[in-house]
Structure 1
Amino acid sequence: MKMKKVLMVGLSLMCMAGVLAGCGNSSGSSDGNYEIGILQFANHGSLDNCREGFLQGLKEEGIEEGKNLTVTYKNSGSDMATDNQIASSFASKDYDLICAIATPSAQSAYNATKDKDTPVVYTAVTSPKLAGFVDDNNKNVGNITGTSDLILADEQLKLIKDMMPDVKNVGILYSTSEVNSQSGIEAYENAASKYGITIVTQGISSSADIPMATDSLLKKVDCITNLTDNTVVSNLPTILDKANKAKIPVFGSEVEQIKNGCIACVGIDYVKLGNQTGKMAAKILKGEATAKDMEFETFNAGEIVINTKVASDLGITIPDSVQSSASQTFDSVASEE
Structure 2
Amino acid sequence: MKKSMKTLLLAALAAAALSGCASNPAPEKTTEAASSQASSEAQSTEKSAESKTETEGASYTVGIAQFAEHGSLDNCREGFLQGLAEEGIEEGKNLTVLFGNAQADGGTASQIITDFTSKKADLICAIATPIAQAAYGATKNSELPVIFTAVTDPVAAALANADGTPVGEITGTSDKLPVEKQLEMIRTLLPDAKTIGILYSTSEVNSETAIKEYKAAAPAYGFEIVEGPVTSTADIPLAADSILEKVDCLNNLTDNTVVSSLPVILDKAAKKNIPVFGSEVEQVKIGCLASIGLDYVDLGKQTGKMAAKVLKGEAKASEINFEVIKEAAFYGNAKVAENLGITLPAELTDTAAEIFTDIAQK
> What TM-score comes out, normalization by structure 2 length?
0.83
Could you tell me which residue of structure 2 aligns to residue 296 of structure 1? 322
Q: How does 1:8-157 map to 2 (within 5 A)?
A: 31-157=57-183
Superimposed CA distance per residue, residues 308-334 of structure 1 (whole angstroms, 9 cap, x where no aligned partner): 110110111211211212110001001
Could you tell me which residue of structure 2 aligns to residue 186 of structure 1? 212
What CA distance in whole angstroms lies between the structure 2 residues aligned with 1:136 and 1:167?
Answer: 36
Per the TM alignment, residue 91 of structure 1 is displaced from its structure 2 partner at its CA by 2.5
Could you tell me which residue of structure 2 aligns to residue 277 of structure 1? 303
What CA distance in whole angstroms lies between the structure 1 residues aligned with 2:98 and 2:113?
Answer: 13
- Unpaired stretches in structure 1, ≥5 consecutive residues: 1-27
Question: Do the aligned residues in 2 keep the contact of 1:173 with 1:204 (CA within 8 Å)?
Answer: yes
Question: Do the aligned residues in 1 keep the contact of 2:83 with 2:302 (CA within 8 Å)?
Answer: yes
| 1:216 partnered with 2:242 | yes
Could you tell me which residue of structure 1 aligns to residue 253 of structure 2? 227
Could you tell me which residue of structure 1 aligns to residue 347 of structure 2? 321
Could you tell me which residue of structure 2 aligns to residue 239 of structure 1? 265
> SS of 2:200's equivalent?
strand
Question: Do the aligned residues in 2 keep the contact of 1:94 with 1:118 (CA within 8 Å)?
Answer: no
Per the TM alignment, residue 32 of structure 1 is displaced from its structure 2 partner at its CA by 1.3
Could you tell me which residue of structure 1 aligns to residue 46 of structure 2? none
Could you tell me which residue of structure 1 aligns to residue 360 of structure 2? 334
86-95 or 311-320: bigger deviation: 86-95
What CA distance in whole angstroms lies between the structure 2 residues aligned with 1:91 and 1:113?
Answer: 8
Letter of the structure 2 residue corresponding to residue 206 of structure 1: S
Letter of the structure 1 residue corresponding to residue 153 of structure 2: S
Could you tell me which residue of structure 2 aligns to residue 257 of structure 1? 283
Match of 1:172 among 176, 179, 198: 198
Per the TM alignment, residue 30 of structure 1 is displaced from its structure 2 partner at its CA by 9.3
Could you tell me which residue of structure 2 aligns to residue 161 of structure 1? 187
What CA distance in whole angstroms lies between the structure 2 residues aligned with 1:85 and 1:312?
Answer: 45
Per the TM alignment, residue 31 of structure 1 is displaced from its structure 2 partner at its CA by 3.9
Count of equivalent residues: 309
Per the TM alignment, residue 93 of structure 1 is displaced from its structure 2 partner at its CA by 4.3
Question: Do the aligned residues in 2 keep the contact of 1:311 with 1:318 (CA within 8 Å)?
Answer: yes
Could you tell me which residue of structure 2 aligns to residue 8 of structure 1? none
Question: Do the aligned residues in 2 keep the contact of 1:308 with 1:331 (CA within 8 Å)?
Answer: yes
Question: Do the aligned residues in 1 keep the contact of 2:63 with 2:123 (CA within 8 Å)?
Answer: no
What CA distance in whole angstroms lies between the structure 2 residues aligned with 1:158 and 1:318?
Answer: 14
Letter of the structure 2 residue corresponding to residue 124 of structure 1: A
Letter of the structure 2 residue corresponding to residue 335 of structure 1: Q
Question: Do the aligned residues in 2 keep the contact of 1:106 with 1:122 (CA within 8 Å)?
Answer: yes
Match of 2:227 among 201, 204, 215: 201
Superimposed CA distance per residue, residues 240-291 of structure 1 (whole angstroms, 9 cap, x where no aligned partner): 0000001110000111111100000000100000000000000000000110
> SS of 2:225's equivalent?
strand
Question: Do the aligned residues in 1 keep the contact of 2:334 with 2:356 (CA within 8 Å)?
Answer: yes
> SS of 1:131's equivalent?
coil
Could you tell me which residue of structure 1 aligns to residue 41 of structure 2? none
Could you tell me which residue of structure 1 aligns to residue 51 of structure 2? none
> What TM-score comes out, normalization by structure 1 length?
0.89
What CA distance in whole angstroms lies between the structure 2 residues aligned with 1:99 and 1:116?
Answer: 16
Per the TM alignment, residue 98 of structure 1 is displaced from its structure 2 partner at its CA by 1.5
> By percentage of residues, which structure has more helix?
2
> SS of 2:155's equivalent?
helix
Q: State, as a whole percentage, how many aligned pairs show the same letter.
A: 57
What CA distance in whole angstroms lies between the structure 2 residues aligned with 1:102 and 1:153?
Answer: 19
Per the TM alignment, residue 39 of structure 1 is displaced from its structure 2 partner at its CA by 1.2
Could you tell me which residue of structure 2 aligns to residue 287 of structure 1? 313
Per the TM alignment, residue 130 of structure 1 is displaced from its structure 2 partner at its CA by 1.0
Per the TM alignment, residue 186 of structure 1 is displaced from its structure 2 partner at its CA by 1.7
Letter of the structure 2 residue corresponding to residue 243 of structure 1: A
CA RMSD, aligned part only?
1.4
What CA distance in whole angstroms lies between the structure 1 residues aligned with 2:104 and 2:256?
Answer: 7
Letter of the structure 1 residue corresponding to residue 305 of structure 2: K
Letter of the structure 2 residue corresponding to residue 290 of structure 1: K
What CA distance in whole angstroms lies between the structure 1 residues aligned with 2:219 and 2:137?
Answer: 38
